[in-house]
Amino acid sequence: MNNDIWLVAGIGAGVVSIAASLLYYAWVAGQDPGGEKAARIALWIREGASTYLKLLYTTLLVVAVILGLVIAVVFSGDSTRPLHGIFTALAFGFGSFCSALAGWLGMSIAVRANVRTATACSRSIGAGFTVAFKAGAVMGLAMVGVAVLGMSLIYLLWHDVEIILGFSFGASSLALLAKAGGGIFTKTADIAADLVGKVEIGIPEDDPRNPAVIADNVGDNVGDVAGMGADIFDSYVAATVAAMLLGASFAATGGAQYVVLPLILCILGIASSIIGLQFVKVGPDGKPGRALNFGTVFSCFVFAILATAFFGGVNWAAGTTVFNWGALIATVAGLGIGVLMGFTTDYFTNDEHNPVREVARVSGSGTGLTIITGFSYGLVSIAPAVVGIVAATLVSYFTAQAFGLPGIYGVGIAAVGMLSLTGIVVSNDAYGPIVDNAKGIAEMSGMDHEVVDRADVLDSAGNTAKAITKGFSISAAALTVLAMFAAYTEVIAKYSGGKGLLLDLQDPLVLSGILLGCIVPPLFSALLMLAVTKNAFAMIAEIRRQFAADPGILAGTSTPDYKTCVAIASSGALLALAFPAALAVLLPLAVGFILGPGGLGGFLGGSIFTGVVFALLMSNAGGLWDNAKKYIESGNCGGPGSEAHKAAVVGDTVGDPFKDTAGPSLNTLITVMSLVASLFAPIIARFHIF
Amino acid sequence: MTQHLYLSLMPEALIASQLEPEEFGTYYAVGSEHKTQGKAAFFEIDPGFRHPELAIDEALQRCVPHPDGVPKRSVYVSVYRVVERVPLGALGRLYLVTQDGRTLGIDRSTRLPEEAPGLHLYHEIAPLHPLVVSTFDPRAFHAFFMGGGSKYLSVPAFCWAELRLGDLATDPERGDVRDLPYDSIDHLRSCLVALTTKSVTTKIVDRLHPSAFSFRTLKNGVFFGNREGLVIYAMPSAETLRDKNFAWWRSANM
């Protein structure tokens, strides 16, 4: 069978997904944008987001040009493939562009959907939900569409998986800037707005008198729409490319169909997501959280059925086993465990369960206990997630092996299975900041309190969806980098004359690599969180200055200067990002060229292990502290203004950069480092000091 | 410009101002240059009210616009012994101002709240502001301090608020705290228990309690009593506040 047909199908699926995304875009844009006051606030948010995106994409362009030139020069040294460097550089640029395009589409609709969702909430919860969810689907479908279109197109053009690595590296570079930069932006604004607005002045959340309130709302979009979207896009592409690389490594014996199987699974995932999206509906006063979860679980079943039908259909039509059934079992195992782990995260961060309630309860005895208890539950939360990753790894590895496939290919395909529903998962995730903004706009524009209440119900469901997505994305990233790690060893073996890479713990180079790798995630986290505190400090000074300079702001007779706060958050985020981002790219190269392939292998292993642990700890502890505060605010353990509430506010402030800046950025960090290693593996295999 | 007289309760003071009550509330809570901050509660006083011990006319003469036309925000008439000198008939609306300057006006009510079973928590607002638990309902509490309870415990006038006790009103030992934000909740419980186990009718929970309190904990409303009688400023229901005073309600619930 000519596998090019699947690549053409991939391009077709990508186009269909993008077209569906644009249809949703047009539908959302056609909804009622609300009254003048709400529209004015939405415009401020849109302008703020636009300011940040321009800065981000300008920075990205500079980074892409520099890295593209480096790739073009470095990879042109191979006389057998003189144009390989240029093609890889082009793929790199195309990957960056695709990720940026998906992010821009998602952001563009999110900052229009917020006010439309608020306006729709004046009719019913269901109406507000539909607008927000369809807007989220724009991001979800655009993302998987451009990813599958890009990967299929590049492989169709060159039939070289290593060139697709360039595409993946391009996507990851943008993801690193978007996720970490968005994380710094959003928490700079959030913390500064809260510390001055709520704590010092005593004004409520989302109050238009707060000069940082627009920056805070912009931050929701750049952090949780563009940032989280880019992060999952990066994992999605990296997982697919890693599985394709692993497929290519045994294509000579197993068949070339295993190279394109990951792309086929992506196509089925797109179809499942589009079908699933049609069934996500909320009645006039229904439960939005239930609708979101139903959509995800339903899409899982659709995907499993489609994948089984595909394997069965192709094998039956061919009269032989074209696609090994072991790959299907590994795929479904990855998918099931991915969803399960998302819900595990929910246990630790949802106020219906013991961890959040326990943190709220002990908060009455002071901040110390809030921090200790929340941090401890964050540590506990690592265990089930890691056990899940282990289970997915072992099940997929041994199942694939039992069916005659390389075990590591099973792991790679399990990661693809886990990420196959990215379309609907990202839709759920992008829904969160849209409804968060909608609630803010409803409050700031003085809409009826029933509208605010409905937006609040949507927002609560969005918070849960965000927590589930974070658990999902960390787990997916972990499995992806395990596959990417295997891909790295394959590339090293290929360019070392077939000599496999053996990572011996008694080898000082490997051990040194592991230790160096272990320190990168905590170092990266610290740099990002210090950037948040530094920028927040600058913004706090600006908010205080504005309140002191114009008493009319607090009296409600003057409009604050929102733009200055947005500018502080934007420039501060991107400036602060330069050093940690450079570390992510340069450290693996330095380790590789000095310690050699074994040292770099150890380095990747160390960074993956601590990266996963830190990402889970920080995301879950942060989410837990946030929801403990919300639990108290909803009238428990003393309610607002109580000692428990004051302690919980401190816990939430500590947890903010944990869960929205450092934690999720670690996914991208470990993916970028794995991609840099895999991409440069052919050169490192030949040139290294030790 | 109209001149107003305001009886501030936190802290006790009589103030002349050219600001309307809502403007005065914002100014009083957050200051003209955001250099002061805090909740406030004040009565609007009949502008015709005079008292020989209070130099109201002199204050009103100074209460004129600034040279640039900006209204005079405040001229202090007195900061001591004002509550005892204001008759019930001079009391106008009561204004409760949140820490960020949102002002809620409450009208004087003709009816006292119906007596509910259980214990009571009273926050005295002026002239002193201890936190007290009692078996007395507001009417009996007023009578008690007007000399009805003991010749050693008698005040000429005072203003206080009844705060919510929730489940603790009927079950001080095991009642669920829920959204009661009070500090030292165990001490409060023991004081409430003492009312049920010892022969005391009133017990001080905190002698040096802060003068401000969380408005969301107000149960029936705010009371002002002197030897003339007792008046109540009944708090609107939570539903009414959310419907009609949403901005104030949000700030009061922080």
Q: Tell me whether strands B131-134 and B120-126 are parallel, antiparallel or unpaired.
A: antiparallel
A623 Cβ neighbours under 8 A, 6+ residues apart? A345, A348, A349, A466, A467, A470, A655, A659
pTM of the model: 0.91
Give the pLDDT of residue B35. 59
- How many whole angstroms separate alpha carbon B172 and alpha carbon B177? 10
Candidates B34, B182, B246; nearest CB to A554: B34
Give the pLDDT of residue A284. 66
Q: Is the pLDDT at A239 greater than 90, yes or no? A: yes
The CA-atom distances, in angstroms, between B61 and each of B17, B46, B75 are 11, 17, 10
> Does B103 contact chain A (CB < 8 Å)?
no
Q: Among B199, B116, B200, which residue's Cα sits nearest to residue B165?
A: B116
**Which H/E stretch holds residue A159?**
none
**Banded pLDDT at A285 (limits 50, 70, 90):** low
Length of chain B: 254
Q: Tell me whether strands B229-234 and B218-226 are parallel, antiparallel or unpaired.
A: antiparallel
> Does A617 contact chain B (CB < 8 Å)?
no
CA distance A193 to chain B (A): 15
- How many whole angstroms separate alpha carbon A482 and alpha carbon B82? 76
> Does A555 contact chain B (CB < 8 Å)?
yes
Q: Is the pLDDT at A200 greater than 90, yes or no? A: no
Contacts of A642 in chain B (CB under 8 A): 179-182
> Does B93 contact chain A (CB < 8 Å)?
no
Give the pLDDT of residue A554. 86
Q: Is the pLDDT at A470 greater than 80, yes or no? A: no
E-strand spans in B79-147?
91-97, 103-106, 120-126, 131-134
> Does B246 contact chain A (CB < 8 Å)?
yes
> Does A636 contact chain B (CB < 8 Å)?
yes
DSSP 8-state class, residue B211: S
DSSP 8-state class, residue A2: -
> Does A494 contact chain B (CB < 8 Å)?
no
Identify the closest residue of chain B to A553 by CA–CA distance: B34
Q: Which residue has the tokens 């900006």?
A: B70
- How many whole angstroms separate alpha carbon A641 and alpha carbon A632? 10
Test B33 with A551 for CB contact under 8 angstroms.
Answer: yes
Give the pLDDT of residue A280. 94
Report chain B's mean pLDDT, rounded to a whole number.
92
- How many whole angstroms separate alpha carbon A661 and alpha carbon A228? 10
Contact present, B43 and B94 (Cβ < 8 Å): yes
> Which runs of consecutive H residues, i.e. helices, occur in B121-218?
138-143, 185-197
Give the domain ranges of chain B.
4-106, 120-252
Q: Is the omega angle on the peptide bond into residue B156 within 30 degrees of 0, that is, cis?
A: no
Contacts of A207 in chain B (CB under 8 A): 100
Test B182 with A449 for CB contact under 8 angstroms.
Answer: no
> Does A558 contact chain B (CB < 8 Å)?
no
Identify the closest residue of chain A to B242 by CA–CA distance: A449
Count other C-beta atoms under 10 Å from residue A105's C-beta: 22
Contacts of A645 in chain B (CB under 8 A): 181
Test A637 with B98 for CB contact under 8 angstroms.
Answer: no
Test A639 with B30 for CB contact under 8 angstroms.
Answer: no
Test B181 with A642 for CB contact under 8 angstroms.
Answer: yes
Test A201 with B100 for CB contact under 8 angstroms.
Answer: yes
Candidates A200, A554, A641; nearest CB to B101: A554
Contact present, A573 and A184 (Cβ < 8 Å): yes
Identify the closest residue of chain B to A550 by CA–CA distance: B33
Q: Is the pLDDT at B192 greater than 80, yes or no? A: yes
Candidates B31, B179, B251; nearest CB to A203: B251
Identify the closest residue of chain B to A451 by CA–CA distance: B243
Q: Is the pLDDT at A78 greater than 90, yes or no? A: no
SS (H, E, C) A362-389: HHHHCHHHHHHHHHHHHHHHHHHHHHHH
Considering only A156-165, A284-293, A585-594, B131-140, which range has the smallest mean pLDDT?
A284-293
Give the pLDDT of residue A8. 96
For A35, the 3-state DSSP assignment is coil
SS (H, E, C) A96-155: HHHHHHHHHHHHHHHHHHHHHHHHHCCCCHHHHHHHHHHHHHHHHHHHHHHHHHHHHHHH
Q: B197-203: long-range contacts at Cβ-Cβ below 8 A with a sequence spacing of 24 or more? A: B201/B134, B201/B135, B201/B136, B201/B144, B201/B149, B202/B132, B202/B133, B202/B134, B202/B135, B202/B136, B202/B141, B202/B144, B202/B149, B203/B132, B203/B133, B203/B134
**Banded pLDDT at A573 (limits 50, 70, 90):** very high
Contact present, A259 and A3 (Cβ < 8 Å): yes
Test A640 with B101 for CB contact under 8 angstroms.
Answer: no
Contact present, A419 and A478 (Cβ < 8 Å): no
- pLDDT 10s digits, A548-571: 898 889 888 899 999 999 999 999
- How many whole angstroms separate alpha carbon A119 and alpha carbon A117? 5
Q: Is the pLDDT at A186 greater than 90, yes or no? A: yes
- How many whole angstroms separate alpha carbon A409 and alpha carbon A416? 11
Give the pLDDT of residue B72. 95
Gyration radius of chain A over CA positions: 24
Percent residues over pLDDT 90 in chain A: 73
Contacts of A641 in chain B (CB under 8 A): 181, 214, 216, 254
Q: Is the pLDDT at B34 greater than 70, yes or no? A: no
Give the tokens for residue A623.
Answer: 């989410």
Q: How many domains does chain A have?
A: 1
- pLDDT 10s digits, A361-381: 999 999 999 999 999 999 999
How many interface pairs between A and B have CB atoms less than 8 angstroms apart? 77
A411 Cβ neighbours under 8 A, 6+ residues apart? A330, A392, A393, A396, A397, A400, A479, A482, A483, A486
CA distance B196 to chain A (A): 24
Percent residues over pLDDT 90 in chain B: 77
**Banded pLDDT at A140 (limits 50, 70, 90):** very high
- How many whole angstroms separate alpha carbon A649 and alpha carbon A663? 19
Test A642 with B37 for CB contact under 8 angstroms.
Answer: no
Give the pLDDT of residue A6. 94
Q: Is the pLDDT at A283 greater than 80, yes or no? A: no
Give the tokens for residue A344.
Answer: 């595990």
Test A202 with B254 for CB contact under 8 angstroms.
Answer: yes
> Does A645 contact chain B (CB < 8 Å)?
yes
B69 Cβ neighbours under 8 A, 6+ residues apart? none
**Banded pLDDT at A476 (limits 50, 70, 90):** confident
Give the pLDDT of residue A141. 96
**Banded pLDDT at A466 (limits 50, 70, 90):** confident
Test A548 with B179 for CB contact under 8 angstroms.
Answer: no
Identify the closest residue of chain A to B182 by CA–CA distance: A642
Give the pLDDT of residue B149. 60
For B41, the 3-state DSSP assignment is strand
- What's the ipTM? 0.89
Q: In what order do the strands lie in the sheet with B12-17?
A: B75-78, B12-17, B4-9, B40-45, B91-97, B103-106
Contact present, A633 and A639 (Cβ < 8 Å): yes
A149 Cβ neighbours under 8 A, 6+ residues apart? A10, A11, A13, A14, A15, A17, A18, A98
DSSP annotation string for A249-292 = HTHHHH-THHHHHHHHHHHHHHHHHHHHHHT----TT--HHHHH
CA distance B182 to chain A (A): 6
**Banded pLDDT at A681 (limits 50, 70, 90):** very high
Test B216 with A640 for CB contact under 8 angstroms.
Answer: yes
- How many whole angstroms separate alpha carbon B220 and alpha carbon B180? 15
> Does B240 contact chain A (CB < 8 Å)?
no
- How many whole angstroms separate alpha carbon A644 and alpha carbon A25? 43
- How many whole angstroms separate alpha carbon A291 and alpha carbon A581? 38
Residue type, B111: R
Give the pLDDT of residue B42. 97
Tell me which residues of chain B, numbers 151 to 210, contact chain A at a CB-CB cutoff of 8 Å.
177-183, 185
Q: Domain range spanning residue A654? A: 4-686
- Who wins on pLDDT, A150 or A230? A150
Q: Among A564, A21, A535, which residue's Cα sits nearest to residue A277?
A: A21
The CA-atom distances, in angstroms, between B240 and each of B105, B236, B237 are 13, 6, 5
**Banded pLDDT at B208 (limits 50, 70, 90):** confident
- How many whole angstroms separate alpha carbon A327 and alpha carbon A309? 14
Contacts of B99 in chain A (CB under 8 A): 201-202
Candidates B100, B183, B216; nearest CB to A643: B183
Contacts of B178 in chain A (CB under 8 A): 635-636, 639
Candidates A452, A635, A643; nearest CB to B178: A635
